[in-house]
Structure 1
Amino acid sequence: MHELELKDKQYIWHPFTPMKDWVEEEQLVIAAGKGIKLIDINGKEYYDGVSSLWVNVHGHRKEKINRAIRKQLDRIAHTTMLGLSNIPAIELAEQLVAIAPPGLNKVFYSDNGATAVEIAVKMAFQYWQLKGKNRKQKFVTLAGAYHGDTIGSVSVGGIDLFHRIFQPLLFKTIHAPCPSCYHCTLGAEPATCSMACATAMEHILEERHDEIAAVVMEPLVQGAAGILTQPPGYLKRVREMTRKYNVLLIADEVATGFGRTGKMFACEHEDVSPDFLTLAKGITGGYLPLAVTLTTDEIYDAFYGHHREKKTFFHGHSYTGNPLACAAALANLEVFREEGVLEGLPPKIAAVARKLTHFWELTHVGDVRQCGLMVGIEVVKDREKKIFYDWEDKIGMRICRHARQYGLIIRPLDNVVVFLPPLASSAADLETMLDIIYRSIYEVT
C-alpha cells in the first residue's frame, strides 16, 4: 500500500463514507488531472465520470480558467465583502443577472450549495416578517429532496437515510409527494403522475398558503434522490400555483445549473422565473468553492432600509465573494460563450440517449433516467416485480468499483449508478464511458 494511502487512512475522515470499509479496502489517491481524465499516484488514468462530484464542466486544467486565477493572484487572493467590495465579485454579479431567468436582479454570495439554499430559506422567512405576514413561516418540500447538509438545508430535505438521525435538530416542513414517475408515492401511472402530484401540491397550497413562506424544489431533476426526473410541465405548474397562492418559489439549481440539463439553467426548459435561484457546483467550472443566491427586486426592496430600521439581512461568510473564485467563475462563463458549450450539447445528449436504450437489455436494470447529461441507472434484483437490492448488498458501490479496472470513476447513490460527465466530453468519450458502465453492471449482476 502506498505511503499516501496509509496516511489518508490514518488522518482523514471522508464525507458520506463508512470509514471501516474505507480503511479495509484499497483506495485511489488522485495526483493530477488533464481534460476529462483523472490520474492516480501510480500514473493510471481514469475518465472522470461524475465530474468530481458534479462540479467539473470544461475538464481539468482548463487553461483559460488557470490563467484567470493566476492573474487574480497577482492582484489579491481575498478580501471581505462585509463593508467592502471587489472587482471580480461585481463583474460576476452583473454577468449572472444577465444570464439568469428574468427578474433575478440581486446576487448574494456564499461558498457552497447548502449555504446558498439556507440563505434563500432565511431570506424568504424574513421577507414575510418584514411584510407583516408573520404566520408565513412554513416551507413545502418534495419527498426525496436534497438541498445540502447544514441544519437548515437538511430541514428542507427529504432523504431519510441522510437525515433521520438529525430529526430533533430540524424545523418541521410540509412534505409534498415526489413527482418522479418511477418512484411516484401516489401510485400513479406515468401518464397521470404529473397531474396527481400537481394536484397534491395545489391542495397543500390552497389549504395552508397563509402559513407557507415558500416551496423549495430542485427543478426537473432530484439529484441525490437518484437522478429522479420530473414529468414535463410539473415545474411550470408549481410556479403558477405559487403565484396564485402568494407563496415564494426557491429553485435549487446547485446540481442542475451551468448546462447539466442542456440549458444554462433547468428553469429555462419551462420558462420559469423563481423568486430565488441557488447556484454552486459548476459556477467556477469545478475549480474553487463559490455559491450564489439570486433573488428579485421585490424581495430585496423589503430589506432595503436605513441602519435604524433594522431590516438588514444578518447573514454572511468569511469567504463571501472571494475574488479568486469569482475570477474563475468569470472565466468559466467566458468559456461557455467562446466555445459555444450549450450549442454543442444536443448531439452529445442524443448520443447518450441512444446508448442508454441498450441498458434495457440488462435484466437487472430497473430504470434508466436522463435529463441532459445527468443520468441515473437503477439496478434492481427483479425489474418486473420492482424488487430492489438490499442496502447490505452494496450493489451500486460494487459496480462503481468494478468500473475502475476499465478506467472509469463513477459514484453510486445506493442502487443507482450515477453518470454526470464533464460537459467537455466528446460523444465518443461519452459512449466509451457508457460501454464501461454497461459492462460493469453486467459483470457484477
Structure 2
Amino acid sequence: MTLKERDKKHIWHPLTQHKLHPEAIAIVKAKDCVLYDEDGNEYIDAIASWYTCMYGHCNDYITDKVSAQMKQLDQVVFSGFTHEPAIKLSEELIKILPDNQEKVFFSDNGSTSVEIGIKMALQYHSNKDNKRNVLIAFEDGFHGDTFGAMSVSGLSVYNGPFEEFFITVERIPTPNGSNNLDVLNKLKSIIEKNKVAGFVYEPLVQGAAAMKMYDAHGLNDILSLCKENNIITIADEVMTGFGKTGTYFASHSIETKPDVICLSKALTGGLLPMAITTCTQEIYDAFYSDDIGKGLFHAHTYSANPIACTAALASVELLQSEVIQSNIKTIIESHKDFGAKIVNHPKVKSIRQTGVIFALDLDIEMERYGNLRDKLLNFFMGNGVFLRPLGQTIYIQAPYTISKKQLDKIYKTIEQALEIV
C-alpha cells in the first residue's frame, strides 16, 4: 500500500476539503530547495514550504547544531527553569530586532505568537486599571487560527463559522499611497468612539491576502497615531520576518517601531515548530508586580524547547552570513528582471515585489479555492515546481539558497502556465 493510500485512512489535512481533494502527495525526502515524492518525482520548493525553510531543507549547519543539542538537553519545563539555548537565542535575536525590543516570550506557532501579543495588549491596559476592549486590524489581514488571532483576521473564508465568538475588532483599509488620509481619518474616528487596546498588522505585506503590499509611509502614520493614543502596536512578522522583505524584519523599513513583534515560520529555518513574541521594556514593566494576578499567565509545554532554540539560533546566524545576504540580493534582482519581462503579458493584470517576495495577478477572475486554481497547482506540480496559487495570484517566496537554474525553471514554468489559463 502506498503512503498516499495509507494517508487517506486516518489523516485530516489542514485547509483541505477531502471530498474534493481525496489524495495528498507523499513526500519522502527534502534537501536544499527540492522535495522528493514516493513516486520518484522532484519538485522545486518555490514557497519554502509556507515560508519556513528559507535556508533550504535539512540545512547541514542547522541539523548539525541540533544533533549535538539533542544529546545534551532535549526538553525541560520553562517555568522555573532556563537553559543556554534560550538565553543565547534571546541575546542574538534582540541584536537584530528593532532597537526598542527588550523581552522575549516563547511559544510554539505563529497563531499563538499573535495570541500572546493580543493578550499583552489587553492585559497591559487592565494592569494599569484602564481596561480597553477593542482591537484594530487591517481589512483582509490574516493572523492565525486561534480565537484571538482569528478575531483580528479579516478573511472570512477561514473564520466564518466562528465570528460570533470573536473579540471586538474594528477594521481599516491598508494605505496605498492615495488613500492614506482617508485611512487615518477612519482610524481617528474609531479611536474617538472606542476604548482601543491594540492594533495588529502585517507590516508591508499581507501574506494570506495574496501577498497584498501596501504603503510604508501610510503605515508609519497609523503607528504614530496609535502611539499618541497609547494603543499597543503589534507587528505580525510571522511571514515577513527574517529577511524576506529585504531587511532583517519588515519593521526596520518603518520609522515608528512596534511595541510587540510576533515571530515564527523561518525562525527555526523550518526544522522545528517554535514561536516568539517580543516586546518593549514598557510592556514588560506593566506586568512586573507584587500582585501575581498581573503576571502574563500563558504557557506552552514546549515553550523554549532547547532543540528548537538551537535550530533558531543557527538560523539567525545563517541569516546574518555574507552568503545568505548576498543570495537575498541576487534573488531580489532576479525577481525584478522576471517582473520586467512578464509585466506586459496579456494574461498578467499586475505584478508586485517586496524583497524576495514576488507576486503576479492573472487578468482573470478566479475563486480562491476553485477548479482553475487547482488546474494551475496541478500544472506546476506536474512540471516539478511547488507553487501554491492564492486565487488569481501566483507568488514566489523561495529559499535563500535557491540556484539561478532553479529560479529560471520557476520563471519558465510560470510563463508556460500563462498559456493554459
**TM class by shorter-chain length?**
over 0.9
Letter in 2 for 1:173: V
Q: Structure 1 residue aligned with 2:168, among 153, 168, 172?
A: 172
Task: Pick one of 14, 38, 41 that aligns with 1:41.
Answer: 38
Judging changes above 3 Å, is the alpha-carbon distance between structure 1 residues 337 and 178 closer, same or farther for their aligned structure 2 residues? closer
Deviation, structure 1 residue 212: 0.4
Are the structure 2 counterparts of residues 33 and 392 from structure 1 closer, same or farther at C-alpha, using a change threshold of 3 Å?
A: closer
Deviation at 1:74, TM superposition (A): 0.6
Structure 1 partner of 2:2:
3
**d(CA) in 2 for partners of 1:267, 1:239:** 11
**Letter paired with 1:116:** S
CA contact (8 A) 1:110 1:292 kept: yes
Which residue number corresponds to residue 391 of structure 2?
A: 414
1:153 aligned onto 2:152:
no
Per the alignment, residue 218 of structure 1 pairs with 202
- Indicate the residue corresponding to 2:338 in structure 1: 355
Aligned-residue offset at 1:193 = 3.1
Tell me the residue number matched to 1:54: 51
Q: Counterpart in 2 of 1:186?
A: none
Instruction: State the partner residue of 2:308.
Output: 325
Q: Give the Å deviation of 1:390.
A: 4.3
Residue type at the aligned position of 1:102? D
- Asked if structure 1 preserves the Cα contact closer than 8 Å seen for 2:366 and 2:391, the reply is no
How far is the alpha carbon of 1:273 from its aligned partner? 1.6
**How far apart are the structure 2 equivalents of 1:428 and 1:35?**
14
- Structure 1 122/240 Cα, relative in aligned 2: closer, same or farther at 3 Å? same
Alignment check: 8 A CA contact 2:327 2:400 kept: no
**Structure 1 residues without counterparts, runs of 5 or longer:** 182-190, 382-387
Give, in whole Å, the separation in 2 of the partners of 1:270 and 1:78.
37
Instruction: Quickly say closer, same or farther: Cα 1:379–1:129, change in 2 above 3 A.
Output: same
Partner of 1:80: 77
Q: 2:97 aligns with which of 97, 100, 104?
A: 100
Mapping for residues 304-323 of structure 1, pairs under 5 Å: 304-306=288-290, 308-323=291-306
Which residue type is aligned with residue 197 of structure 1? V
Per-residue CA deviation, residues 128-179 of structure 1 (Å, 9 max, x unaligned), is: 0111212x22100110010000111000110011112111221221111133
1:200 positional shift: 2.8
Partner of 2:411: 434
The one-letter amino acid paired with 1:226 is A
Change (3 A) 1:424 1:31: same
Relative to 1, partners in 2 of residues 1:94 and 1:175: Cα closer, same or farther, differing over 3 Å? same
Going from structure 1 to structure 2, the CA distance change for 1:391 and 1:351 (only over 3 Å counts) comes to closer
Deviation of 1:427 after TM superposition, in Å, equals 3.8
User: Residue 392 of structure 1: CA displacement?
Assistant: 7.1
**Aligned to 1:261, what secondary structure does the other structure show?**
coil
2-structure distance, mates of 1:337, 1:309: 39
Q: Counterpart in 1 of 2:401? A: 424
Secondary structure of the corresponding residue to residue 122 of structure 1: helix
Q: 1:10-409, aligned counterparts within 5 Å?
A: 10-23=9-22, 27-134=24-131, 136-179=132-175, 181=176, 191-205=177-191, 207-208=192-193, 211-306=195-290, 308-381=291-364, 388-390=365-367, 393-409=370-386
CA distance in 2: counterparts of 1:74 and 1:425, whole angstroms:
31
Shift of 1:399: 0.9
Q: TM-score, normalised by structure 1?
A: 0.91
- Structure 2 length-normalised TM: 0.95
Residue 397 of structure 1 contacts residue 411 of structure 1 at CA under 8 Å; is this kept in 2?
A: no
Q: Which one is further off, 121-130 or 392-401?
A: 392-401
Higher deviation after alignment, 147-156 or 240-249: 240-249
Q: Tell me how many residue pairs correspond in the alignment.
A: 421
Contact 1:101–1:272 under 8 Å retained in 2:
no
Question: 1:262 is paired with a residue of what secondary structure?
Answer: coil
Of 50-59 and 421-430, deviating more is 421-430
Q: 1:392 to 1:122 in 2, by over 3 A?
A: closer
CA RMSD in angstroms, aligned pairs only: 1.7
Q: Aligned equivalents of 1:343 and 1:278: distance in 2?
A: 26
Letter in 2 for 1:377: L
SS in 2 for 1:303: coil
CA contact (8 A) 2:224 2:256 kept: no
1:428 positional shift:
4.0
Aligned equivalents of 2:342, 2:179: Cα separation in 1: 24
Contact conserved, 1:116 with 1:292, CA < 8 A, in 2? yes
Q: CA deviation at 1:343?
A: 4.2
- Please say if residues 134 and 167 of structure 2, whose CA atoms lie closer than 8 Å, have aligned partners that are also in contact: no
Aligned-partner SS, 2:168:
coil
Partner SS for 1:259: coil
Structure 2 gaps, min length 5: none
SS of residue matched to 2:113: helix
Cα distance in 1 for residues equivalent to 2:381 and 2:72: 41
What's the offset of the Cα at 1:226?
Answer: 0.6
How far is 1:365 from its partner?
2.4
SS at match of 1:350: helix
Amino acid at match of 2:231: V
Alpha-carbon distance, 1:98 to partner: 1.2
CA distance in 1, matches of 2:19, 2:332: 38
* Identity over aligned pairs, percent: 32
- 1:333-389 deviations in Å (ceiling 9; x for gaps): 1212334423442232021022023333433322222211112222232xxxxxx23
